[in-house]
Structure 1
Amino acid sequence: MSTTNNPASPKAWYVVYTRSRAEKKVLADLAAQNIEYFLPLQKKLRRWKDRKKWVKMPLIPSYCFVHITRKEYDHVLQTDNVVCFITFEGKAAIVPDQQIDALKKMMKQTDFEVSVTTDNFKPGKKVEIIAGPLVGVQGELVKFKSKNRFIIRIEQIDTVFSVEVPAEKITALP
């Protein structure tokens, strides 16, 4: 991940929509421009006729997160393979820092597979994970196929990240 330091203007996380299968190319271009980015990647076993191979695939196809100032906005938009910013009510949607931090933490854990869905889960109890690799992450607890699923909602892109968490590793928030 690339970082830049410019204390003059506040940075925020935005979501960029890329051309199909161009997420890694966009990241290389953003890195060359010293723009901070985050692309959640997940290892998947891909099969071809003659072989199998583990590859890192974007968790959310065609989406990339950028941490930029307003001044860098146009530079990102002019980057090759960037289609547009995801907007909400006519403005580029800002994703809160804590959601990005929780997603980064979730992507680092290897105990359970992280899945992405646009299913409309009913809001559940607010919980915090108290043990394991995701300790400290806050989100919602929902039942899905009779199992406890811990979810983080990123409403700006209408997406839910979920992971199965044993009941003894979570606690309810007030």
Structure 2
Amino acid sequence: MQARKLAYSWHAIYTRSRAEKKLYKELCSRSIECYLPLQKELRQWSDRSKWVEEPLLRSYLFVKVSEREYYDVINSSFAVRYVTFGGKAVSIPEEQIESLRIFLEDENRKVDLSHDNLEKGESVEVVAGPLKGIQGEIIQIRGKNRIVIRFDSLGTCVYTDISLDKIKQVQPVF
């Protein structure tokens, strides 16, 4: 009898307050694939300033699990629950996770987060530059063209500046 191949998919986990890095470290030590989007910020104290890595999405961590690891992840002391819709954990497309990784690879790129319900934009794909291959929406925010990745299940959009000569229109995939 042949063993059934496990299907892995990405899910968002809601973490305890300010415990994203702790949960990430714990899950990595248990060989569970996870992704914690971090962004460097310059923090100012009265006596010094310092660059620190902060989670882009506060209280969220992404995990790629099969049915086998599904409950192991939530049993961590730093995990609260999966992000769900209709009582079932929402699956996040692999392309969105990869696009987010590419957004954050360039430390000099300003990536912004919005919890506002941004207007729907035209579906595009980046065809040149460091963001090549990313698919998202093009919208104007404060007079600048931005490429947006929507995480509807989190009520969040991640966006960054993009030049119109680096994109082409495509049919929506998400």
- TM-score category by the smaller chain? over 0.9
**Structure 2 residue runs without a partner (length 5+):** none
Cα RMSD between the aligned structures?
A: 1.4
Cα 1:127–1:68 shift into 2, 3 Å: same
Q: Look up the match of 1:3.
A: none
The answer to whether 1:164 aligns with 2:146 is: no
How far apart are 1:111 and its partner, in Å?
A: 4.7
- Asked if the contact 1:127–1:170 (Cα under 8 Å) also holds between the matched residues in 2, the reply is yes
Q: Look up the match of 1:96.
A: 93
Deviation readout 1:43-78 (Å, 9 max, x if unpaired): 000111211100000000110000000110111011
Distance in 2 (alpha carbons) for counterparts of 1:157 and 1:163? 18
Q: What is the identity, as a one-letter code, of the residue corresponding to 2:131?
A: L
Q: Look up the match of 2:11.
A: 14
TM-score, with length taken from structure 2: 0.93
SS in 1 for 2:116: coil
SS in 2 for 1:64: strand
The answer to whether 1:47 aligns with 2:44 is: yes
Aligned to 2:35, which of 16, 32, 38? Answer: 38
Distance in 1 (alpha carbons) for counterparts of 2:65 and 2:132? 28
Distance in 2 (alpha carbons) for counterparts of 1:37 and 1:103? 13
Q: Number of aligned pairs? A: 169
TM-score, with length taken from structure 1: 0.93
The answer to whether 1:76 aligns with 2:77 is: no
Aligned sequence identity (%): 40
How far apart are 1:112 and its partner, in Å?
A: 2.5
Q: Look up the match of 2:124.
A: 127
Distance in 2 (alpha carbons) for counterparts of 1:48 and 1:31? 32
The answer to whether 1:117 aligns with 2:114 is: yes
